[in-house]
Every structure is written in C-alpha cells, then in structure tokens.
Amino acid sequence: MLRYANYNIVFQEIPGEVTLAINLSNCPNRCKGCHSPYLQVDEGTVLDQSELLEILHKYGSAVTCVCFMGGDAAPHEVEQLSLFLKSQHEYSLKTGWYSGKNELPPYLSVQNFDFIKIGAYEERCGGLDSPTTNQRFYRIEQDEMIDETERFRNK
C-alpha cells in the first residue's frame, strides 16, 4: 500500500512542467546522506485513487504534471496510479516517477509514464544537476526512453 508524507508544487523536478510532486513514504533504499530520512518510515496518508482525486480536485488545474517521488517498495502500484491519472481526461496531466533504484523493476511498462528518473542518491556523485551524477532522467516517447539528464545542467 502506498502512503505519502506530503506534496508540493515544484518547477525543477520535471523540466518545462509545473509539477505536483507527491512524496511517497516507506522508501526501501537506504542511501547514505539521504536528503529526506523521514520518507524511509512507513507512515502518512494512504495514496489510492480516491485520495488522488481529492488532490486533483484541489490542484489538478494548476499543474501540468504529477510526479510520484519514491514508491520503490511498490512500483507497480505507482504505475497503476499513473495509468489512473492518465484516464482522468478532464485534467490531461503528464506523469512522472522518481525512483531511487538503479534499474527499473521487471514488467514495468515505461509508456505508462511521461518521465522517469532512476538512480540511487550517491553523495560523491551528486544529484541530477551535478556533472558527475549517476542518476538519469528520461522522457518517454512511446516505449523509448530518451535521456534528458543534460537539461538539469543547463538551467
């Protein structure tokens, strides 16, 4: 079951989009230097379709994208919620997923998202805006993953 700790409207995480970033808890990764240790705890509000609709009613027309931050303990639930969002045509929102894993989980269909970031946080490499980052940010076109990590360094 997915839970979220909080959400914010952000401008940096998905280039060119106004994004509602939902911070999912119960992160199974234990990155050294974790920027948000509170997200490692399994607590917060259950994020299911009805909760997502509640959030959309408040912010759905103010954003162009919804990004799931985390959710590596239940990636296919994240994927299902992304599909659900895409079925809400009145909002016509793009969807993104920030995973802290270095590889995508088996059986995930990337075309169910518009953007995917993968890669653990490694202190010595830095985040997406670092020239030495190990993380990758992809735009999804059909089932093709186009690496657009460079866009974070040109801001």
Binding site for ligand SF4 (CB under 6 A): 27, 29-31, 34-36, 39-40, 70, 100, 121
Nearest Cα to Cα of residue 51 among 36, 68, 63 = 68
Q: Which of residues 60 and 68 has its CB atom nearest to ligand SF4 in the complex?
A: 68
Q: Which of residues 117 and 139 has its CB atom nearest to ligand SF4 in the complex?
A: 117
Give the residue closest to ligand SF4 by C-beta: 100
Q: Which of residues 39 and 56 has its CB atom nearest to ligand SF4 in the complex?
A: 39
Q: Which of residues 60 and 100 has its CB atom nearest to ligand SF4 in the complex?
A: 100
Nearest Cα to Cα of residue 99 among 15, 29, 20, 18 = 29
Q: How far is the CB of 126 from ligand SF4 (least distance, A)?
A: 12
Return the structure tokens found at 125. Answer: 């490499």
Phi, psi (deg, nearest 5) at residue 14: -125, 105
d(CA 126, CA 131): 8
Q: How far is the CB of 17 from ligand SF4 (least distance, A)?
A: 20
d(CA 149, CA 10): 17
Q: Which of residues 31 and 55 has its CB atom nearest to ligand SF4 in the complex?
A: 31
Q: How far is the CB of 41 from ligand SF4 (least distance, A)?
A: 10
d(CA 12, CA 7): 14
Q: How far is the CB of 121 from ligand SF4 (least distance, A)?
A: 4
CB atoms within 10 A of CB 86: 17
Q: How far is the CB of 102 from ligand SF4 (least distance, A)?
A: 11
Q: What is the DSSP letter of 151?
A: G
